[in-house]
Structure 1
Amino acid sequence: MITNETIVALSTPPGAGAIGVIRLSGKDAIAIANSVFSGKDLLSQPTHTLHFGLIKDGDIVIDEVVVSLFVGPKSYTKENVVEISCHGSNYIIQQIINLLIKKGASAAKPGEFTLRAFLNGAMDLSQAEAVADLISSDSQAAHSVAMNQLRGGFSTELNVLREQLIHFASMIELELDFSEEDVEFANRDQLQELINKITIVLNKLIRSFELGNVIKEGINTVIAGRPNAGKSTLLNALLNEDRAIVSEIAGTTRDTIEEVLNINGINFRLIDTAGIREATDTIEAIGVEKTMLKISQSAVLVYLFDVLNLTANEIRDDIASLYKPGLAFIAVANKIDLSFSDRLKELNLPSEIKFIGISAKENQNVEELKELLYETVIGDKLSENHTMVTNIRHVEALRKTQESLDSVSQGLINPVTSDFLATDIKQALYYLGEITGKVTTDDLLDNIFSKFCIGK
């Protein structure tokens, strides 16, 4: 899949700006850049150096530029790489790219620079995917998770397990060569111990996907409750701005309102919803239907209730209709500045449901609610050295690895011949290899790298 073509693309975002960076990669990258550069002879310059000069098309000066040289293999792609920093005019950028193509370069496809880095051994496949996650990270936590994967935290853990499995696979393959002698080179008890050890790690990684995915995408947090509970006032208080219309008229919010709140580096996607009640018109009915849909899609549900006007039985009925096992649920009593009824002590909420009293209007305990949101979802689950899975492709491969190892384990409990054990171990190795790119297909690579931006 590696070609000898030299590729070129704009690596900075499209649009006018102070500077644009045009990147070339390939065997002839330096020679092509040198053919349009008026300054030092780039072919005789050392790697990792900067050079000021002109880009010229014949006698026509296109721009003053700074050229960065990275001589392979000491580059991002392990090929010769040239980066041309020019003025950020769309016209200038296009003129330079067109000139470089005329001199022999080809327009890069999405993700082709990182694809070449992977194919040339600069990084494995999970690290290459982390590059895309790093570019799209929009919170401290998402950045930390992507950086850990880019630096090989995930790959290292998987490669250790894979090497140990390969050892047993080779021993069992050796048994097949001596099948007539009926000998065992692979210790079955040690193999079972290894499978148990790997299963623990796989379970940990698979469980981490739930948290890793919400960190990557943001945590859907729905604010739900009856009309006039103060949902829009709470949204405004959490955001510290007047984002939603606040009115004493019941049913003011007819559609969902979505905003992002960053708490300790985690993005919570707050969703203010229409009040839950029997709708009085068609439009409100649509709003209530949307509310129930958003609740079903939420990772966290903030049930807000008016402590003044609801009885304990009404609150319990609401919670019973909204709560589902596994859903992070926070019950929030609003308007505690006016009254804090003793009947709340009679609620007997399930232990999985967390409770807090606030006044959204007076901004009382709103910061404490933010802390409770963070603790409910994240708690102490994040650490710099904690490996976390954020990619659905990875978690599916881990599950398939687990299924193959379960088959190996069953083959040890109910003894089967070495060839069946070898087949199941090979299958487990295949799925582990899919994650880091030890095993790849062109279709898989096309699917992954086509989602990258051009220029990366």
Structure 2
Amino acid sequence: MDFNDTIVALATPSGAGAISIIRVSGPQAILIVSPVFKPKGKKVLAEQPSHTLHLGNLVGGHRNLDEVLVSIFRAPKSYTGEETIEISCHGSPYIQQEILQLLIRKGCRAAEAGEFTLRAFLNGKMDLSQAEAVADLINSENAASHQMAMQQMRGGFSNEIQKLREELLNFASLIELELDFAEEDVEFANREQFQNLISKIQTVLKRLIDSFATGNVLKNGIPVAIVGEPNVGKSTLLNALLNEDRAIVSEIAGTTRDTIEDEISIGGVGFRFIDTAGIRETKDVVESIGIKKTFEKISQAQIVIFLLEAPSALRSSLPRRQAGPPKGEKLSEISIEIEKIRNRFPQKPILIIINKIDRLSEKELQNLKTDLNVSLSGVEGSHFLLLSAKTGAGVEELKNKLLEYVNVGALRNSDTIVTNSRHYAALLKALEEINKVEDGLNANLSGDLLAIDIRQALLHFGEITGEITNDDLLGNIFANFCIGK
């Protein structure tokens, strides 16, 4: 990219709409647009002040392309820090292309993906972590991801890192100064104060690193696997949660042979539900592959919903009859299956759902609740709910229960939450170097050895905010942006 170019791109989604916005940024932005814009009055666009709006016609050759509204943002008081024009035109794809081609003929270059925000970063309008938050904000699909992106874009994360970096840099300067007076054995950096600073930095870094576990799932949607035997109503439950017929439902066992995923927002938090193939012994090759995928999805899920069928569970909990199963035999088998998941994934919440309660009488329902409390009480870390996916009874209670599993305390308190894997990796490396500095202090190492580890920690802090960067890193980050932003 040549950052002396004046660039142009459609800033709104392509396709027909009420209006579209075309953004122009660069040293010649106002000078390029001014000759092709004919204002309603006698004003000359190039002579107008910043942050003003002007109605007029955009002219290409001898044709009026459209009646438009032109916004002027003069450097450095613009998004990019450069001379910027935004043209609001009618949302016809034909008009959009005609205006873009006109401006390119007049001297603009088509913008690359993320080039406007990249210029904003290079011109000091935002740091690198704030620039990355712009992409997160554009892609936010629920209240939680929106709030985290807004908090980061306002500089909450950057400010914490910048403050730590400045304090560490001050001590680093004092230690470097000591090296200049090595022969005189002078100590400028108070070691006790330095030790307190290192402890403070470790505490903050550990908190930020721990927040990534929450931030990553909140940003991408919390995966919830719906598992159980065939025909217990897994697909019906998925449809009830999504409020649409997303999965095929039939009385034939093994209908779902592959995983089906979809996402909804519950209480502002995104949940990604995964309808899996029913778990059972089968000789069907395709169904066997689906069951194998089920266990893969359980390992990837944050929460597991284990679905049972109420009539089957009730029959198994009744006193033994002639040729009938022993009391609780079915539930005991289910408890064993749940324990297998619990032993393999000890930290994974398992929510046991008893479906199809609409087929039970009130007395049968009470008997089932009593038996469930006894049979499943020994399954540690598990809870059960009764519902009817067919009628919707109990579905709202399930949604509320799922929210209880999510740690949104930090989000509600507007604490800084790390959501970016690049930031997470840099924080881990910074903590590693800070721990080395602490070890050096405890071992009374010389200032020149301490300075090496301090410089490395400062480097990793700088990588987050962009004080230290390279073209490859910037290319990878901004390649994920949409064109026009």
Give the shorter-chain TM-score range: over 0.9
1:311 equivalent in structure 2: 330
Change (3 A) 1:384 1:108: farther
| Aligned residue identity for 2:422 | R
Deviations for 1:111-145, whole angstroms, at most 9, x for unmatched residues? 11101111111111100000000001011111111
Aligned to 2:126: 123
Mapping for residues 344-383 of structure 1, pairs under 5 Å: 344=372, 345-383=374-412
Matched, 1:325 2:346: yes
1:245 aligns with 2:264: no
Task: Using the TM superposition, give the Cα deviation of residue 341 of structure 1 relative to its aligned residue in structure 2, in angstroms.
Answer: 5.3
Per the normalisation by structure 1, the TM-score is 0.96
Q: Identity percentage over the alignment? A: 57
**Any unmatched runs of 5+ in structure 1?**
none
Cα displacement (A) at 1:4: 1.9
Question: What amino acid is the match of 1:404?
Answer: E
Name which of 429, 434, 437 aligns with 1:400: 429
Question: 2-side partners of 1:93 and 1:379: how far apart?
Answer: 43
- SS across alignment from 1:184: coil
The answer to whether the aligner puts 1:49 opposite 2:68 as a matched pair is no
What residue number does 2:281 align with? 278
C-alpha distance in 2, partners of 1:237/1:18? 35
* Separation in structure 1 between the aligned mates of residue 215 and residue 252 of structure 2, nearest angstrom: 40
In the alignment, what sits opposite 2:483? 454
Check if 1:234 corresponds to 2:237: yes
CA distance in 1: counterparts of 2:3 and 2:251, whole angstroms: 67
Does the Cα contact within 8 Å between 2:165 and 2:461 map onto a contact in 1?
Answer: yes
Give distance in 1, aligned partners of 2:97 and 2:242. Answer: 42
C-alpha contact 1:232 1:244 (8 A) present in aligned 2: yes
How far is 1:51 from its partner? Answer: 0.8
Q: Which residue number in structure 2 is paired with residue 12 of structure 1?
A: 12
Q: Is the 8 A contact 2:9 2:484 kept in 1?
A: yes
Deviation at 1:232, TM superposition (A): 1.9
Looking at structure 2, the residues matched to 187 and 70 of structure 1 have their Cα atoms a distance apart, in angstroms, of: 49
1:148 equivalent in alignment to 2:185: no
The separation in 1 between residues aligned to 2:281 and 2:62, in whole angstroms, is 76
Gaps of at least 5 residues in structure 2 are: 317-328
Instruction: Give 2:463's match in structure 1, choosing from 431, 434, 442.
Output: 434
* Runs of 4+ in structure 1 over 6 Å off: none
Stretch of structure 1 that moved more, 25-34 or 54-63:
54-63
Output the CA distance in 2 between the equivalents of 1:424 and 1:32. Answer: 51
Instruction: Quote the residue 1:410 is aligned against.
Output: 439
TM-score for both structures, normalised by structure 2: 0.90
In 2, the alpha carbon distance for the partners of 1:359 and 1:90 equals 48
Q: 1:110 aligns to what?
A: 113
Q: Relative to structure 2, which stretch is displaced further, 1-10 or 137-146?
A: 1-10
Q: Contact 2:332 / 2:375 at 8 angstroms: preserved in 1?
A: no
1:361 to 1:37, Cα distance in 2 relative to 1, 3 A = closer
For residues 90 and 361 of structure 1, what CA distance do their matches in structure 2 show?
Answer: 44
Equivalent residue letter for 1:265: G
Q: CA 1:431–1:379 in structure 2 vs 1: closer, same or farther (change >3 Å)?
A: closer
SS class of match (1:280): coil
Task: For residue 207 of structure 1, give the secondary structure of its aligned residue in structure 2.
Answer: helix
Question: Does the alignment pair 1:389 with 2:418?
Answer: yes
Deviation at 1:350, TM superposition (A): 4.7
Aligned residue in 2 for 1:159: 162
Coordinate RMSD, CA, aligned: 1.8
Q: Distance in 1 between matches of 2:248 and 2:13?
A: 36
The 1:454/1:240 distance shift into structure 2, 3 A limit, reads: closer
What CA distance in whole angstroms lies between the structure 2 residues aligned with 1:211 and 1:443? 29
Q: Deviation of residue 265 (structure 1)?
A: 1.0
- Distance in 2 of aligned mates of 1:163 and 1:359: 58
* Distance in 2, Cα, partners of 1:326 & 1:124: 37
Asked whether 1:184 is paired with 2:195, we answer: no
CA distance in 1, matches of 2:450, 2:2: 36
Judged with a 3 Å threshold, the aligned counterparts in structure 2 of structure 1 residues 194 and 283 are, in CA distance, closer, same or farther, namely same
Distance 1:188 1:35, change over 3 A: same
- Letter aligned with residue 394 of structure 1: H
Q: CA deviation at 1:321?
A: 2.2
- The answer to whether residue 190 in structure 2 is matched with residue 169 in structure 1 is no
User: Highest Rg: 1 or 2?
Assistant: 2
Distance 2:223 2:34 in 1: 51
Q: Give the deviation of 1:158 after TM superposition.
A: 1.0
Tell me which moved more, 114-123 or 286-295. 286-295
Partner Cα separation in structure 2 for residue 197 and residue 352 of structure 1: 35
CA deviations on 1:309-343 (whole Å, 9 max, x unpaired) are: 46332122111222302223222233445241544
**1: distance between equivalents of 2:48 and 2:235?**
62
| Match among 183, 195, 199 for residue 196 of structure 1 | 199
- Higher mean C-alpha displacement, 212-221 vs 359-368: 359-368
Secondary structure of the corresponding residue to residue 265 of structure 2 = strand
Aligned equivalents of 1:335, 1:89: Cα separation in 2: 51
Q: Which amino acid aligns with 1:276?
A: I
